Amino acid sequence: MSERQKHFYNQGLTRDVYYRIQHLKRLKNVLLRYEDEICDALHRDFRKPVYETELSEFLIVLLELKSLIKNCKSWAKPRYVLPSLVNFPSVSKIYKQPFGSILIIAPWNYPFQLVMAPLIAAIAAGNTAVIKPSELTPNTASVLEKIIAEVFEPGYVDLVQGDAQVAKALLNLKWDYIFFTGSSRVGKIVYEAAAKHLTPVTLELGGKNPCIIDETAPLELSAKRIVWGKIVNAGQTCIAPDYLLVEEGIKDKLLLALKTELQRALGSDPKKSPDYARIINNSNFKRLKALLEDQQVLYGGDSDALENYIAPTILDMGMLDPDIAFNELPEVLQDEIFGPILPVLTYKNQEDVQDWIEKYDKPLAVYLFSKNKKLKNKILNELAFGGGVINDVVSQFLNPRLPFGGVGNSGLGSYHGKHSFDTFSHNKSMVHKATWIDLNIRYAPYSKKLKIFKRLRKYF
């Protein structure tokens, strides 16, 4: 925590719920004034379509703001719980206490939403915050800096711009909580830095999200939903379907449906479509371009380095082999793609699907298109993953009443709605003991009390 943050927090202003709500309302009004500028900044950073910004960034932030403004007061109240008979007579309560100073390190792929959503919750819970936006989206970071300066006093919320070295310097400081969104590789670095000070963390990471389609799925509707989830933000979404596992008998029909839907959504030349974003920078463009080498391209594959453009691309990866060693897989099947490339694997037996998915670390999301109840229950009960959807993709993120987060290598902790408020609050347990009576059974000397204690403990 910086000295400025410490001084501000020690004044106790953020412990006042009305002070928090006042700033959240002010933030909402300022965001509405900056709405067009935010959309323009995202378009300049990587040609993100205005509609996608409104849907996947601005709307989500507004919904979080409305929820936290409405519920902040009630969520912050002490909660009574049933007291223990051991403590008779007493009252037991759980108090929501702010952690203190929060460090929020945000990614580039949703550079507005993934700054604002955790910030709003941190403020609602009574904390101060320092934000480190991504240096890869400088236009969005610049707008965020103006918004923060207009809404919050210095020391309440501060925004720090810079590259990875700035992030490293921030991580060397002592914080009361760290909220990080990004890759699993960097997440491990953040976790290691936090461990030096025993700082609690939320890590929102990623993984190889499988999407399973069996012969009972409605193919045209499935293709429509899969294509949307893959082309939003040009595939640069942590919960996008990473690869498809398609039952052998429906492979050809599904591939035709996917191609038809891509042409319907973006036209015959996606590069000319105003509804398709670009890859964030040349480094990521080259990484994605390399994944296409020596692969069987069924659709797309076009690219333009000058625009960091890669067309939505479908790859035929053949029949899955659950016995193949992980290091023998082509690179496109090893790491999270994070781009508009969709490998398609075919399977014969449903038993092979689970073995294949379990080759990888636990994914952030799993998607299943099927009417088969037995298969649905098998996926739900036997696979470990952060969250998922049956017969759709990505939409688990859109319900603020559902906690969002990964498990294992795909993340630690969760947030959204009340889950966000709880994430940034310490549950302080208190027992208020009465003084009008004091039962003698717990005090020494203990002679002759053991039998009484054993008779009474069944009521505890």
Query: What is the three-state SS of 315-350?
Result: EEEEECCCCCCHHHCCHHHCCCCCCCEEEEEEECCH
Instruction: Enumerate the β-bridge partners of residue 415.
Output: 404
Catalytic hit among 39, 72, 211, 238: 238
Residue 145 appears among annotated catalytic residues: no
**Secondary structure element (H or E) that encloses residue 439, with its range:** none
* 22-47: b (≥16 Cβ within 10 Å) or e: ebbeebbeebeebeeebbbbbbebbb
Catalytic hit among 52, 57, 204, 261: 204
- 332 with 341: CB under 8 angstroms? yes
Q: Measured in Å, how far apart are the chain's first and last C-alpha atoms?
A: 43
Which DSSP symbol is given to 1? Answer: -
Q: How many CA atoms lie within 13 A of 349 on its CB side?
A: 6
Q: Which residue matches tokens 């601005």?
A: 58
Query: Looking at beta carbons, which pairs linking 320-327 to residues 24 or more positions away fall under 8 Å?
Result: 320/245, 320/345, 320/346, 320/347, 320/352, 320/353, 320/356, 322/352, 322/355, 322/356, 322/359, 326/359
User: Where does residue 297 rank: exposed (0-12), middle (13-18), buried (19+ CB within 10 A)?
Assistant: middle
AA letter at 385: F
3-state secondary structure of 244: strand
Residue 204 appears among annotated catalytic residues: yes
How far is Cα 442 from Cα 421, in angstroms, rounded to an integer? 38
Tokens (6 digits) for 84: 């223990």
The dihedral formed by the CA atoms of 5, 190, 104 and 160, expressed in degrees to the nearest 10? 70
Question: Cis link prior to 138 (omega < 30° from 0)?
Answer: no
Which residue numbers are catalytic?
Answer: 204, 238
